[in-house]
Amino acid sequence: MKLCLATNNTHKIEELQSLLGEKFQLQTLNEIGCFDDIPETSDTFDGNSLQKAMYIWERFQLNCLADDSGLEVDALDGEPGVFSARYAGTPVAGEHGNHENNMQKLLKNLEGIENRSAQFRCVITLITNGIAHHFEGIIRGKIIHQKQGSKGFGYDPLFIPDGYDRTFAEMNIEEKNPISHRGLAVAKMIEFLKQA
Ligand code: IMP
């Protein structure tokens, strides 16, 4: 089954393709002839992933999926949330957020705050034959006081998942994938696709 993934982020495409296996062939936006900057204007993860997937379905009538994810910090009322990529300001063209500046802003906003609980959340919207299905993955953890590790991306060096003593940035992709918010959402989607 062919599925278009509403992103040109090659990191995401490779990660998802390896999780989905050979039964599903992911197509990129460029491969289907879409060169648009797909709007992402909702204030929820569900809304953004639906908006991106719907954009493809309405123009191309292709089975497709889109995801939206971010970090939600309890003591900051869920911030940075949908603004995770652009927490410290709008990224320059071609960049998906300035991870270093975002982490520094987060540490600053958490200065003096004891409750460091947080979660990563991912919502995937899959559209098959015009019908949208949502799959959510959440990983709880805490934000540490200074960066640890150099793997991964985004807020990984500051996030230790519950039950672990290392950050996501200190884990290999093989270790992070099965427990991550994205991995959990993908697992739910695969289960659904197997039964479809
Ligand atoms: P998006 O879903 O690609 O739009 O990601 C939004 C932003 O959330 C990223 O740019 C990161 O700042 C953050 N984020 C999402 N998933 C992760 C993750 O697995 N590790 C670290 N940061 C993440």
Residue 196 has pLDDT above 80, yes or no: no
Q: CA dist 20 to 1, 15, 16, 119, 120, Å?
A: 11, 9, 6, 24, 21
Ligand 1 neighbours (beta carbon < 6 A)? 67-71, 84-85, 96-97, 102, 120, 152-156, 168, 180
pLDDT digits (tens, 9 = 90+) for 142-161: 999 999 999 988 999 999 99
pTM value surpassing 0.85: yes
DSSP string, 81-133: GGGGGGTTSPPPTT-S--HHHHHHHHHHHTTT----EEEEEEEEEEEETTEEE
Atom 5 of ligand 1, nearest CA residue: 69
How many A from CA of 42 to the centre of ligand 1? 16
The second-level CATH assignment, the architecture, of 2-195 is Alpha-Beta Complex (3.90)
For residues 6-15, average pLDDT? 79
- Choosing from 36, 46, 68, 77, which is the catalytic residue? 68
From 40, 52, 79, 153, the mutation candidate for ligand 1 (largest count of ligand atoms within 8 A of CB) is 153
Give the integer Cα–Cα distance in Å for 4 and 121: 22
